[in-house]
Amino acid sequence: MVKEEGKFKWLEEGDGGKPIILLHGLMGGVENFGEMVDFISKEYKVYGLDLKLFEGSILKVSVKSLSDYLYDFMNHVGLSSAILLGNSMGGHIALIFSKEHPEMVEGMVLTGSSGLYESAMGDSFPRRGDKDYIRKKTEEVFYDPKVATDELVDKVFEIATNRISTLKLLGYARSAIRHNMAKDLPDFKMPVCLIWGEHDKVTPPPVANEFHKLLPNSELHWMPLCGHAAMWEHPEEFSKIVLKFLDDKF
C-alpha cells in the first residue's frame, strides 16, 4: 500500500514485529525491493521510503540530506527506532543515519552498499543520448542481464538524458565519495547483516569483506549468481537470510 503525506511517499506493508525501513539506491526506487517485501512483511512491518532523489533543489543533493530526510520520515510516522535495510546508496544513507542517530537504529541489513568504494557511481556514467551505453551499464548491475528490462533501461535513460537529473546524479556520486565511512564503522555497535552478490561489479566482493572487517558486530552472507541488487535478483533467498538474522538478533 502506497501512502503520501506531506513531503513523504512510502510503501507500507505488514503489521507485526519490529519496523523495517527499506532504502533504495541512486538509480532505483522502492519497486527495486519487489517480491522481497511480500516475504518480509509476513513477519515484520515494512516501510519502503521513496527518497525522491531527482525532485527538489539541486542545492540539497547529498547523502547527508537524505539521512536528514529519513530522520524526518521516522518522526512523521512515529518511529523512535527501526531496522534499516539499504541497497547501494540506500546502504550509505543507513550508515550516515546510524552514525548520527545510533539510538534510532536497532540493526542494519546492507546489500551492495556504498560508503567505502564509489568508483562506479559517477565516472563516465551517464552518457547522455547513448541508449546502448545506458543499456550496457544497467545490465552490469545484475548477474543476469535479462533483469535489465526495456522498462528499466527506459527509466535510466530518461534520467540520463535530463540535464538537471544528470547534475543531481553526479552530485550524489561526489557526495558519496566525500562521506567515506571507513573511520566510523569500528564504532558501530548495532548488529549488521551484509548480503552480497558474488558477481557484484558495482561494489565488488572485496568491498563486502572490508565492511565485514570494519563493522565489529557484522555477519557476511554471499549470494551466488548474483550482482549488485541481491534483493531484486533473488528475493526469496535474500529474505530467508534477513528473517534468520532478525530472528537470531531480535
CATH number at residue 86: 3.40.50.1820
Q: What range defines the domain where residue 19 resides?
A: 2-118+178-249
Q: Is residue 162 one of the residues assigned to a domain?
A: no
Kindly give the confidence (pLDDT) of every residue in the chain, 250 residues in length, as a single tens digit, with 9 standing for 90 and above: 899 999 999 999 998 889 999 999 987 788 889 899 999 999 999 999 999 998 877 777 899 999 999 999 999 999 999 999 999 999 999 999 999 999 999 999 999 999 998 654 444 455 556 888 889 989 999 999 999 999 999 988 888 888 888 888 888 888 888 899 999 999 999 999 999 999 999 999 999 999 999 999 999 999 999 999 999 999 999 999 999 999 999 9
Domain count, the chain: 1
Q: Is residue 165 one of the residues assigned to a domain?
A: no
Runs of H (alpha helix) within 142-204: 150-160, 163-178
Q: Is residue 207 one of the residues assigned to a domain?
A: yes
Q: Is residue 149 one of the residues assigned to a domain?
A: no
Q: Is residue 229 one of the residues assigned to a domain?
A: yes
Q: Is residue 92 one of the residues assigned to a domain?
A: yes
Instruction: List the beta bridge partners of residue 23.
Output: 49, 86
Q: Is residue 97 one of the residues assigned to a domain?
A: yes
Q: Is residue 184 one of the residues assigned to a domain?
A: yes
Q: Compute the distance between CA of residue 102 and CA of residue 107 in angstroms, rounded to an integer.
A: 9
